[in-house]
Structure 1
Amino acid sequence: MTTDHPATPPRPDAPAAPAHEVLLDTDIGSDVDDALALGVLLGSPDAQVRGITTVYGDTLLRARLAHRLAGLAGHDLTVVPGATQTLSGKEVWWAGHEGKAFTDLDAEPVRDDIGADRFLAETVLARPGELEVIGIAPLANIAGAIAYDAGFPSAVRTLYLMGGYFAPEPKPEHNIVSDITAARIVFGSGIPTVVTGLEITTKVRIGRDGIEAIRAAGPYGKALAREIDAWTGFTGESWSVPHDPITALSMLRPELYETRNGTVTVDDDGRTTFHPDPSGPVRLVVDADLTTVADEIVSRIVRASA
C-alpha cells in the first residue's frame, strides 16, 4: 500500500530564494557607475549575482577589478573577461585611471578558459527563463551570446540595459554609439528588455552626503569611494550620476518605474529611436520616482559594505 505524505514544509530559518538571479555585463573601471551598480546588486537580499562578464578595452583588468570589489564585500564571484574590441570596429575609449586606485590586481583570479559570449549563453541556456541579464556597457558580449546560440534570446528572463537617449531630439549615448553593430543585434533579437536612457538617468545625482555615507561603510565602501574619487577627479565634478545603478533598480524595484512597450532602432550615428508598440519586446523607462531610487542606491550600497 502506498501512502501519500504531505510535502515537508521549509524550515522557518531557511533563507528565501532570491527573486532575481543575475548575470552582469559591465565595463567596470571607467565611469564609477558600474562599480556602484555592482554594489546595489551585492547589497540586495532579493538578488544573487551568478557571474560577471567584462567588455570593452582591457577586459582582463576590468575583470580583476570586479573580482577585487566583490571580494571586499564578501563575495567570491565568477568573473569572465570578454570582448576587448567592438563589433563595429570603432576604437575603444579609455579614460586612463582604470584600476589605478588598487594594488596587486594581477593576483585576482578570473575565469579565462571560456569566452564571455559562451559563458553568458551556456549559463542562461542551462536554466531557461530563470536568469536575468543586466547590460551596462557596450554590447559586444551580449551580441556575441546571441550569435553563439540562437536559443539565447528566448532563454533570458529579462535583459536590463542602460543605453540610449530617447528625448525628442536624441543624441548618441556612450554604450550604444561605442558599438552600433552590437546594439542593433541586441535590440533586434527579441529579448524581453527594459532599457533606461540618459533622459532619465541624468536627472539623478549622488552628492557629497551620499558619497561620504558610502565611504564610511567599511572596506568595500572605502574601495568604492576611491573609485568615485578617481572618476570625479577625471570629470572635475563633485557628484556621481548613477546611470547604471538606476538600471539595476529597474529590476529590483520595478514599481518605482513607468515603462512603455515598443521597439528600438539605432541609426548610423548611434542615435536611438523608440517606436511605441503594445506588443514590442522592449519596455522603455519613461518616468521614475527618482528621489526614492537615489535613496535606494545609497542604502543598498551601504548594506553591501556592512
Structure 2
Amino acid sequence: MKPRKIIIDTDIGDDIDDALAIALALNSPELEILGITTVYRNTSARTRLVRELLNQYDRTDIPVYTGIGMPIIERVDTLTIPDQCIGLTGYEQDEEQMDASDFIIKAVQENPDLTIAAIGPQTNLAVCFLRATDIMKRANIVAMGGNITEVYAEWNILCDPEAARIVADLAEHYTMFGLNVTNQCRLSMKELAEIRTSARPQLAFLRSLIDIWLKTGYPITLHDPLVIQYLFDPSVVTIREMPLAVELSGTDTRGIIYEKVNLFDPHKVEKGKTLVGISVDKIRVVREFMKRVFK
C-alpha cells in the first residue's frame, strides 16, 4: 500500500505537542510528508524550528513553508518568539520561494488523495479556501481543535475563530478531535523516564524542547500526535457526524465549538458534515506513540 500523502500545518514552538506530532509523522512509514507549513504569530521563527527538527532526523528533503502570522480579525504580535525557539542551534536553510497558502493550494490540486493535518490555528487554510474554494473542498482535513463536552474555547480555535468558521463551513471532508479526547492522552512519569533513557541519537534536540515545556508545569499531552496517529490507525478514535459551528461573539463564548440542535423541535434534525472524535483508546495511543518515537 502506498503511503498516505499529508501536509502538516503547525504552530510549533508553544506547546510541545506540535514537535511530538511531527516526530511521530517522521517515524510513520505509512505517511508521506509532502511539506510542512507554519501558522500564527512569528511564523518565520516557527519555520526555523521545524527545519531544525527535520535536520535532526536527516529529513531536510521535506520542504517547509512560512505561513500567515496574523489572524483574520484579531491583532497579535507577530514578532513574539515562541518559547521552544530558544532551543534552536542555528540551523538554517534557504527560504522556500513559495508561501504556505500557494503551496497548500497547489498540493491539493495535484494530489486528490491529500490529507492536511491541521494542528494549529486555521488561518492558512481559511485563506486557501477563500482563494480557491473549489480546489480546497476536495481536501481531506483532519484537525486538532475545539471541545464538544465543555463550554471552553480551545486554543487553536480561539486564536482565529473566523478562520475556523470558514474552514468548518466550506470544507466537505473535515474531521476534528477536541480536548474531550486529546486531554485523555497524557504521558505518565513512567513514559517521561523512558524518554530520558532512550538511546536514539536524534532525540537530544527533541528532549531539549520537552524540557522547555516541562518548566511550564503543564503535563505532556498528545493533542496533536493524536491527529497523526489517526491518519495511520483510525481505529484508535471513535467518531460520529455532528452539525458543528464556531461561535464568533460573546465575552465568554467566542471561539467555542458547539453542536447545532433545536431543543424545541425534536423533529427538526440539523444535518452534520463534521466528523468528531467522541472517545479514544488512550492506552493504545500512548503505547504506539512511545514505540515509534522513543523506543
TM-score normalised by L of structure 1: 0.86
Q: 1:288 to 1:260 in 2, by over 3 A?
A: same
1:196–1:247 CA contact under 8 A, matched in 2: yes
The alignment status of 1:286 with 2:278, answered yes or no, reads yes
1:242 alignment counterpart = 222
Q: Deviations over 1:82-101 (max 9, x none)?
A: 00111122425957523111
1:224 corresponds in structure 2 to 206
Shift of residue 284 of structure 1? Answer: 0.2
Q: Which residue of 1 aligns with 2:43?
A: 59
1:257 equivalenced with 2:234 (yes/no): no
The one-letter code matched in structure 2 to 1:280 is G
Match of 1:42 among 14, 18, 26: 26
Report the AA paired with residue 243 of structure 1: H
Q: CA deviation at 1:217?
A: 3.9
2:84 aligned residue: 98
TM-score, reference length from structure 2:
0.89
Preserved contact between residue 67 and residue 110 of structure 1 (Cα < 8 Å): no
The residue number in structure 2 matching 1:170 is 151
Cross-structure match for 2:266: none
Q: Supply the distance in 2 between the matched residues of 1:58 and 1:230 (Cα, whole angstroms).
A: 18
The yes-or-no answer on 1:183 pairing with 2:164 is yes
Q: Which amino acid is the alignment partner of residue 271 of structure 1?
A: I
In the other structure, the counterpart of 2:264 is none
Distance 2:39 2:171 in 1: 22
Deviation per residue, 1:127-154 (Å, 9 max, x gap): 22x1100001011001111122122333
Contact 1:173 1:198 in 2 (8 A): yes
Q: 2-side partners of 1:250 and 1:154: how far apart?
A: 21
Considering only CA atoms, is the larger Rg found in Structure 1 or Structure 2? 1
Q: What does 1:264-303 correspond to in 2, within 5 Å? A: 264-267=244-247, 268=249, 269-275=254-260, 280-302=272-294
CA distance in 2, matches of 1:171, 1:298: 29
Shift of 1:209: 3.0
What per-residue deviation string (whole Å, max 9, x for no partner) do you get for residues 31-71 of structure 1?
11000000111111101111000001111111111111112
Structure 2 distance, partners of 1:222, 1:209, is 19
SS at match of 1:120: helix
Q: Is the 8 A contact 2:121 2:160 kept in 1?
A: yes
Q: Deviation at 1:108?
A: 3.1
CA distance in 2, matches of 1:248, 1:279: 27
The sequence identity of aligned pairs, in percent, is 28
1:90–1:178 Cα contact (<8 Å) kept:
no
Map of 1:206-221 to 2, 5 A cutoff? 206-215=187-196, 216-221=198-203
Which runs of structure 2 are paired with 1:138-157 in the superposition (5 Å)?
A: 138-156=121-139
Whichever residue aligns with residue 236 of structure 2, its letter is L
For 2:84 and 2:77, locate their aligned partners in 1 and report how far apart those are by CA, in whole Å: 13
The answer for the alignment partner of 1:120 in structure 2 is 104
Gaps of 5+ in 2: 262-268
Contact 1:172–1:272, Cα closer than 8 Å, also in 2: yes
Distance apart, 1:223 and its partner CA: 1.3
Instruction: Single out whichever of 63-72 and 86-95 deviates more from structure 2.
Output: 86-95
Instruction: Give, in whole Å, the separation in 1 of the partners of 2:81 and 2:187.
Output: 21
CA 1:96–1:72 in 2, change beyond 3 Å: closer, same or farther? closer
Shift of the 138–72 alpha-carbon distance from structure 1 to 2, 3 Å rule, reads same
Aligned length: 280
The aligned counterpart of 1:134 is 117
Distance in 1 (alpha carbons) for counterparts of 2:111 and 2:53: 27
RMSD of the alignment, in Å? 2.0
Q: CA deviation at 1:74?
A: 2.1
- Give, in whole Å, the separation in 1 of the partners of 2:46 and 2:85: 8
Cα distance 1:195–1:222, how it changes in 2: closer, same or farther (>3 A)? same
Deviations 1:222-241 (A, max 9, x none): 211111111111x224x301
Structure 1 residues 225 and 207: alpha-carbon distance in aligned structure 2, compared to 1, 3 A threshold: farther
Counterpart amino acid of residue 143 in structure 2: L
